[in-house]
Amino acid sequence: MSVSTVSKKSIDIKIQPVEKSRLADIDMSNVGFGRIFSDHMFVCHYANGKWETPEIVPYGKMELSPSFSAIHYGQAIFEGMKAYKGEDGEPLFFRPDENWKRMNHSASRMCMPEIPHALFMEGLHSLIELDKAWIPDNDKGQLYIRPHMFATDEFIGVRASDTYTFVIFTCPVSFYYKDPVKLLATKEYSRAAIGGTGNAKAAGNYAASLFPDKLAKSQGYDNVLWLDARLHQYIEECGTMNVFFVIDDAVVTPIPTGTILGGVTRDSVLKLLKDNKNILGLNSVELRRVSIYEIEDAYMQGTLREAFGTGTAATIAPIAKIGFAGKDMNLSDERPISTWLYKQLYGIQTGKIYDPYNWVVKF
Ligand code: COI
């Protein structure tokens, strides 16, 4: 295992620990996803052009004014990352710098203040140090980490807020998708247009996906497979994850044009695929426009071997079915590429497989 170590504190964090942990009441063998929250949360307010002294306090309700501008004008962004239990029981993080960079990319797009590296990393470290007993064993799950920031000006009118709150909380989770995913490609709705906020992890992107997702669910699918907003032809992503297709001996994934989220798992998968083409019997790994008609064509020809999604929550999620224009493409249960990727990536993330990229970080 190769692990980078980050340590040394440069900021003061006020810590108010819980009087009694709730952990003993939790059935860690059945945590589901996103419903159980660990004991503490990290909170830092921004006002007068600077971040104030952060605090770690018991996880719980926060005071909220009905005129908070995030609720009205949508300045709200978030990240998703995970802590894994290392071989020695200590927390391992996967490429946390990438989440910090993406959070600040989202912040700048949504006209919000950037978060200093030390504030993000030391907040994360201190919080997980306190709640590391909440990291499930590797066969049960991981600790999902949700950094997020929202606007707090009490003000009615469209302008950027002057005050913000940055919070990190965590939850023990198991699979986001229990079964292979069924997606519906639709020409009727779009997730993001060029020049919009598609490559920011902005709360509003997810809100806009809910109604089309509801329609997809009512037809027996799990989510929408988004197509580009101009031609309604080129595949973008799925909203909960980026997507990859195995066609013949090539893996193809949509090239970012500003409308899809730059996934950390996506980037890692691209690297793993490129470096292991021979082992996997692949001829090429291609980042390019992928039309839904090309996928339909490959399916008809029998060359669409696999499709899968990638994401922090979704991990490597096999796609079982893609619906488009009234027909279903049912994919094979044989999934050699995504099965290999899942094992390789999870092995690296949990410190069981050598990490040649220095992706895994121990604080
Ligand atoms: C993540 O993968 O971390 C996300 O934020 C996606 C969401 C569907 C949970």
Say yes or no: CB of residue 311 within 6 Å of ligand 1.
Answer: yes
pLDDT of res. 125: 96
Atom nearest to 144 CA in ligand 1? 3
Q: Which of 176, 191, 345 to mutate to test the pocket of ligand 1 (most atoms within 8 A of CB)?
A: 176
Mean pLDDT, rounded, of the chain:
96
Judged against a pLDDT cut of 60, whether residue 6 lies above it is answered with no
- pLDDT mean over 198-211: 97
Task: Read off φ and ψ for residue 45, nearest 5 degrees.
Answer: -100, 150
For domain 181-332, say whether CATH 3.90.850.10 is its number.
no
Q: Between 336-349 and 264-275, two packed helices, what is the crossing angle to 10 degrees?
A: 110
Q: Give the integer Cα–Cα distance in Å for 249 and 283.
A: 5
Q: Is 25 exposed, middle or buried, given 0-12, 13-18 or 19+ CB atoms closer than 10 A?
A: exposed
Please give the structure tokens belonging to residue 93.
């993080």
Average pLDDT over residues 73-93: 97
Q: What b-and-e string marks burial along 203-216, b requiring 16 or more CB atoms within 10 Å of the CB?
A: bbbeebbeebbeeb
| pLDDT at site 173 | 98
What mean pLDDT is predicted for residues 304-333?
A: 98
Please name the residues in contact with 250: beta carbons below 8 A apart, sequence gap of 6 or more.
282, 283, 284, 285, 286
Under the banding of pLDDT at 50, 70 and 90, the label for residue 9 is confident
pLDDT of residue 213: 98
Given this model, what pLDDT does residue 363 score? 87
Residues 359 and 347: their CA atoms lie apart, in Å, by 12
**What is the domain partition of the chain in residue ranges?**
4-174+355-362, 181-332
Residue 200 backbone dihedrals phi, psi, to 5 degrees: -105, 150
Tokens of 202: 């902005």
Confidence of residue 8 (pLDDT cuts 50, 70, 90): low
CATH architecture of 4-174+355-362: 2-Layer Sandwich (3.30)
Cβ–ligand 1 distance for 263 under 6 Å, the answer no
Structure tokens at 358: 């220095």
Cα–Cα distance measured from residue 135 to residue 128, given in angstroms and rounded to the nearest whole number: 9
pLDDT in tens, 150-196: 999 999 999 999 999 999 999 999 999 999 999 999 999 999 999 99
Cα 359 → chain centroid: 16
Does residue 240 have its Cβ closer than 6 Å to ligand 1? Answer: yes
Determine the pLDDT at residue 3.
63
> Mean pLDDT over residues 268-293, rounded?
98
265 lines ligand 1 (CB under 6 A): no
Task: Give φ, ψ of 228 to 5 degrees.
Answer: -60, 150
